[in-house]
Amino acid sequence: MKLTTLAAALSATALTLPAVAEDMTIVSWGGAYQSSQQKAYTEPYAEMKPDFNAIWDESSGEAVAKLRAMDEAGNVTWDLVDVEGPDAVRLCDEGLAIEVDVDEVLAPGDDGSSPTDDFGPSLISECFIPQIVFSTTFGYRTDVEAWGDKKPEDLCAVFDLETFPGKRALQKSPKKNLEWALLCDGVEKDALYDVLDEDGGVERALAKLDTIKDEVVWWSAGAETPQLLADGEVVIGSTYNGRLFSVIEEQDQPVAMLWDYQVFDFDGWVIPAGLTEEREAAVKEFVKYATDTQRLADQAKYISYGPARASSQPLVGKHAELGIEMAPHMPTNPENAQRFLVNNLDWWADNQDDAEAKFQAWLAQ
């Protein structure tokens, strides 16, 4: 008798155990960005739902390759993955992420707009749940003697070695650089991808880059440009706007932003394919909370990336520690976004390999 009660009690605990501790493995980028997500999303969520337990994995940089490996091994251990837009497109193409009907899964905006309208242009793939808008843009040193009184005012200052001599830092990748080169080679913004599609389009962009090639330091990690700028190793360089924000505002270096033709990118969640129904439902519930209007606005308190929802914009407040107004530091701020670019992801999905081959061959010359 006693034994059966014990067995019943045991089996009852066994049944309820998985529901008690709701572990969720969330993959992100580490650093300041991940901690902004913890403060804005998971900490308040855990307060609301004491069972919820987020396990963080800082693997977003290799997320696509790792997800593919997990999928091949048939053992997907991640519940939610933070990736950049182009990676989301590829994960979707590869069938490694599930398609999400945003109107069904996500919360409507605080102003009553539907998620589709609220997220607008950031919905770049059926699998992508946007969080933030960030941009790749230029920062320059404000104390370069050789420049005299002149300050870079537009993108083409990067290509103007006469007025603005000195080393530049550019990303070791054709994306963005080709577009910038063509813009300064006289191509209209709307015609960029038509020109790139033509025979010799990529070569034309490379020829423009060739004019500054000797003065370029190529970076592959976003943290390199801030270091190069701070050390005076380069006088002007591209990187993610949040990195420049921390060099300028947090480390107080003599560096200023050049927002002209910043390239917008989106960063957001994808839900891996192959989760059990239970896990998928839990993830969707979390995502609905973590991408609502208030949460996205909250994140901007900790990092200078713009919320992907239009309805979050008016709610962006002050930096949690520095106490400065964050709106002017947002890439989406109208003052900063007078001229901007958005990568044509379809073109890049098709031509990435080709452009990359030409770019690398050009670099190796």
Tokens describing residue 308: 């992907």
Q: Which is nearer to other proteins, 250 or 346 (CB)?
A: 346
- Using CB under 8 A, which of 24, 27, 64, 327 touches other proteins? 64
Q: Which is nearer to other proteins, 14 or 364 (CB)?
A: 364
Kindly provide the residue ranges of all beta strands, DSSP E only, lying in 206-313, ordered along the sequence.
216-219, 236-240, 255-270, 306-307
Tokens describing residue 87: 């990676």
- Using CB under 8 A, which of 26, 84, 90, 311 touches other proteins? 90
Residue from 78, 77, 72 nearest 95 by CA: 72
81 close to 128: Cβ distance less than 8 angstroms: no
- Using CB under 8 A, which of 94, 198, 210, 278 touches other proteins? 94
- Amino acid at position 15, single letter: L
Q: Which part of the chain contacts other proteins (CB under 8 A), choosing from 15-23, 89-97, 156-164, 300-308? A: 89-97
Size of the chain in residues: 365
The values of phi and psi at residue 94, to 5°, are: -80, -5
The number of residues that bind other proteins (CB under 8 A) is 34
Q: Which part of the chain contacts other proteins (CB under 8 A), choosing from 20-28, 92-100, 239-247, 315-323? A: 92-100
350 binds other proteins (CB under 8 A): yes
236 binds other proteins (CB under 8 A): no
- Using CB under 8 A, which of 172, 204, 288, 301 touches other proteins? 172
175 binds other proteins (CB under 8 A): no
362 binds other proteins (CB under 8 A): yes
From the DSSP assignment, how many helices (H) and strands (E) are in the chain?
15, 10
x/- letters, 188..207, toward other proteins (CB under 8 A): ---------------x----
349 binds other proteins (CB under 8 A): yes
167 close to 176: Cβ distance less than 8 angstroms: no
358 binds other proteins (CB under 8 A): yes
Tokens describing residue 105: 């899964």
Tokens describing residue 166: 């000195």
Exposure on the CB side of residue 321, measured as CA atoms within 13 A: 9
Tokens describing residue 17: 């155990």
CB of 220 to other proteins, least distance (A): 6
Burial of 31-47, coded b for 16+ CB within 10 Å and e otherwise, reads eebbebbbbbbbebbee
Q: Which is nearer to other proteins, 241 or 351 (CB)?
A: 351
The residues that touch other proteins, with contacts defined as CB under 8 A, are: 61-62, 64-65, 68, 90, 92-95, 167, 172, 203, 217-218, 220, 231-233, 346, 349-354, 356-358, 360-364
